[in-house]
């Protein structure tokens, strides 16, 4: 049964598994563990004593393999839903012993073939036995090429010395050991295959916070939580350290399933614990790991429910979307409706207009002077409403021009004005702001043309075209905006882009609700635009940035760059999505993601140097980007060949 009912969470992390020893009575293994509250078992498929070279074959040259059970002993749905296969831990495909190496390769293929026959959803691969894992990766990569839907989870430790084999300890300095580097090497050899994932081993000691953070950008599917990682509370029950609790909570939030592993380390008398209903009815002893399961369930159940906005956005997590083309395309009603629900954004705009009106017109002139305010890109009218509410709040008189190029939205604007009785206050203009000849000049120009990267929906070009009907001392809302980027590791997004198998998708910037991502360094500012731009400064830009990834993080892989913006609407009123200054509870913008064609591996403490360009030509604007350190990448999107925004 699931760990609990957390509102809004339907992820796999609700389900907890248990690691079991080899047992040829699979029905009994399933019955005992499922009736004890576990949702699935991680089971060794093949007798650990089996070695291909020791098997005596019959006259036909074949032998019956000692698998745990026939596929008939439980139903296909039980195999698929409740069993994760565990490949024999003794295999060593990079052994210098040819006999062991060949036995290992044969056994690996036999077990994977059997798991596929059973329609298992996943199999756990043992961690490499030596620093060199080239042949292991070659065999796994070969298997992946013919795999249908099953996932392979490479078991990777998060602790150093205790998980290393004796021969590894002799050849590797434990202080230099970083299991992430081995995982990275293994997945590079397997070409970032989307069906190769990670199952982390969580042991008593944990690496640094920044080092752990890397794994949230990796395809971690499960975490083995060992009983020896548990402490004992005052009542004698198992519990976890604060650091372990925080890590487990992070796994819950990233759809990582917990798998309990090991034997009970707590002497809890059976009489002190309530028996399960099944145990009462059938006299079955309580599962020795049930107290650990209860504690994991307690951690899950005490998490706060997902906020309403997170529940709405849940389906958008790590989903790549092409940015809007507001000048080339007319938005649909559903898109307008989504953005109009963002009350936080319009509250900020109303605050900005209030301050601008008060600065523009002193109190003594409020009843005699009318402010001309133009909403350029009025859409279906939310900024018109916010501006009129600001006028009412400050006691100022307002004349509004609502300029909108989308003829469909203009229909809605006319209906809104009649419905609200604004005929004497608002004039609707059906025209592109860059082409409109205004009958008078504006005191205040209001727009919401910002994109996830600030300027990526062509706010600079649009407002440059509209500023000719703004008075010389007029106010532009927003008055300025700045874009920001940071290097990120996100295996999920990289593989999603890679699945298209073409250059164009690697040279496109995507809007995406980032979730399975590791942010490797703090953000840095890229491009800034200010309005009005009476100096007619070019909107082309170039910026070189150098990011320092903290040395304690260890090695990391940069799959691309996350982009954000922060905008000053007027004076101290701002809005944006830059992580350090993000406007709370605002959802109109997701971050933007600039992928790299070839991910860049960064050594501990090494700088990441990246270049960004904003270019224009003909009827389009585009970005180009590249990395020059620690290694050079191609310049992406040269000449806007793959991705641009149409003027």
The C-alpha torsion from 88 through 94 and 98 to 103, rounded to 10°, is 20
- Judge whether 578 counts as a catalytic residue: no
Measured CA to CA in angstroms, residue 452 lies from 497, 505, 506, 524, 633 at distances of: 19, 18, 18, 15, 24
Rounded Cα distance between 548 and 607, Å, is: 5
Residue 231 forms beta bridges with which residues?
239
Comparing CA positions, the residue from 525, 500, 474 lying closest to residue 597 is 500
- Residue 553 CB contacts under 8 Å (≥ 6 apart), including other chains: 208, 210, 211, 213, 214, 520, 604
Are 210 and 553 in contact, with CB atoms under 8 Å apart? yes
The DSSP line for 509-553 is -EE-B--S-EE-S--EEEEEEESS-TT-----EEEEEEEE--GGG
295 is in an annotated binding site: no
Cis upstream peptide for 478 (omega within 30°) = yes
Answer yes or no: is 49 a known binding residue: no
Residues 302/6, Cβ–Cβ less than 8 Å = no
Measure the CA–CA gap between 487 and 490, rounded to whole angstroms: 10
**Is 448 part of the annotated catalytic residue set?**
yes
Check whether 433 is labelled as a binding-site residue: yes
Secondary structure (DSSP) of 253-319: HTTPEEEEES---S---GGGSPPPHHHHHHTPPPPTTHHHHHHHHHHHHTSPPPPHHHHHHGGGBT-
Which residue is catalytic, options 105, 159, 448, 461?
Answer: 448
* Distance in angstroms (rounded) separating the CA atoms of residues 356 and 572: 11
Report the alpha-carbon distance of residue 178 to residue 199 in Å, rounded: 16
Q: At what angle do helices 343-360 and 382-394 cross, to 10 degrees?
A: 50
In this structure, what are the phi and psi dihedrals at residue 251, rounded to the nearest 5 degrees? -65, -45
Which candidate in 457, 507, 578, 624 is catalytic? Answer: 457
129 annotated to bind ligand: no
**DSSP annotation of 433:** T
Taking CA atoms, 7 is separated from 15, 303, 423, 587, in Å, by 15, 10, 46, 20
Q: Is 432 annotated among the ligand-binding residues?
A: yes
Half-sphere exposure of 461 (CA within 13 A, CB side): 20
Alpha carbon distance 352, 580 (integer Å): 21
Is residue 553 a contact partner of residue 602, using CB atoms and an 8 Å limit?
no
Which residues carry a binding-site annotation for S-adenosyl-L-methionine? 336, 345-346, 404, 432-433
What are the residue numbers of the active site?
A: 448, 457
Which residues carry a binding-site annotation? 336, 345-346, 404, 432-433
């Amino acid at each position: 049964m699931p760990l609990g009912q957390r509102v809004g969470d339907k992820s796999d992390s609700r389900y907890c598994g248990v690691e079991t020893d080899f047992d040829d009575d699979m029905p009994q293994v399933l019955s005992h563990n499922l009736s004890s509250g576990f949702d699935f078992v991680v089971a060794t498929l093949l007798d650990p004593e089996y070695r291909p070279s020791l098997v005596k074959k019959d006259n036909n040259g074949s032998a019956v393999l000692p698998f745990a059970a026939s596929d008939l002993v439980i139903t296909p749905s039980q195999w698929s839903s409740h069993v994760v296969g565990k490949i024999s831990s003794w295999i060593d495909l990079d052994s210098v012993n040819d006999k062991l190496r060949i036995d290992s390769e044969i056994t690996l293929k036999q077990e994977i073939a059997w798991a596929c026959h059973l329609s298992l959803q996943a199999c756990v691969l043992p961690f490499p036995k030596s620093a060199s894992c080239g042949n292991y990766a070659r065999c796994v990569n070969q298997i992946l090429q013919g795999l249908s839907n099953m996932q392979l989870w490479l078991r990777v430790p998060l602790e150093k010395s205790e998980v290393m084999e004796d021969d590894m300890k002799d050849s590797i300095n434990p202080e230099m050991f970083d299991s992430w580097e081995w995982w990275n090497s293994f997945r590079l050899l397997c070409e970032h295959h989307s069906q190769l994932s990670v199952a982390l081993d969580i042991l008593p000691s944990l690496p640094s916070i920044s080092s752990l953070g890397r794994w949230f950008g990796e395809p971690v599917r499960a975490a083995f939580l060992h009983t020896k990682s548990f402490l004992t509370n005052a009542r004698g029950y198992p519990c976890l350290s604060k650091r372990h609790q925080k890590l487990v909570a992070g796994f819950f939030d990233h759809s990582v399933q917990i798998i309990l592993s090991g034997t009970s380390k707590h002497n809890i008398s059976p009489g002190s614990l309530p028996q399960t209903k099944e145990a009462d009815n059938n006299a079955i002893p309580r599962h020795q790991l049930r107290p650990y399961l209860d504690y994991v369930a307690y951690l899950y159940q005490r998490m706060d429910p997902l906020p309403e906005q997170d529940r709405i956005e849940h389906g958008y997590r790590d989903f790549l979307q092409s940015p809007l083309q507001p000048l080339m395309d007319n938005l649909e009603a559903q898109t307008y409706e989504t953005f109009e629900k963002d009350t936080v954004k319009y509250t900020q705009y109303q605050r900005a207009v209030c301050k601008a009106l008060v600065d523009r017109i002193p109190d003594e002139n409020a009843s005699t002077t009318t402010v001309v305010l133009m909403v350029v890109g009025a859409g279906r009218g939310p900024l018109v409403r916010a501006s009129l509410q600001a006028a009412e709040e400050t006691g100022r008189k307002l004349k509004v021009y609502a300029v909108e190029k989308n003829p469909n939205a203009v229909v809605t604007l006319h209906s809104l004005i009649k419905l609200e009785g604004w005929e004497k206050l608002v004039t609707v203009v059906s025209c592109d702001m860059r082409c409109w000849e205004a009958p008078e000049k504006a005191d205040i120009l209001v727009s919401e043309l910002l994109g996830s990267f600030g300027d990526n929906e062509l706010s600079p070009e649009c407002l440059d075209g509209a500023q000719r009907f703004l008075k010389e001392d007029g106010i532009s809302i927003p008055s300025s905006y700045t874009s920001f980027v940071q290097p990120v590791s996100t295996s999920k997004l990289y593989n999603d882009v890679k699945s298209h198998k073409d250059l164009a998708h690697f040279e496109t910037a995507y809007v995406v609700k980032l979730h399975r991502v590791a942010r490797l360094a703090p953000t840095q500012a890229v491009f800034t635009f200010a309005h009005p731009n009476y100096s007619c400064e070019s909107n082309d830009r170039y910026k070189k940035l150098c990011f320092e990834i903290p040395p304690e993080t260890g090695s990391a892989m940069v799959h691309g760059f996350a982009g954000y913006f922060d905008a000053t609407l007027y004076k101290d009123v701002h809005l944006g999505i830059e992580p350090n200054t993000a406007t709370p509870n605002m959802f109109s913008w997701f971050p933007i993601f600039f992928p790299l064609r070839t991910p860049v591996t960064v050594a501990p403490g090494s700088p990441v140097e990246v270049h960004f360009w904003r270019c224009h030509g003909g009827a389009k604007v585009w970005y180009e980007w590249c990395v020059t350190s620690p290694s050079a990448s191609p310049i992406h999107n040269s000449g806007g060949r793959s991705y641009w925004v149409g003027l």
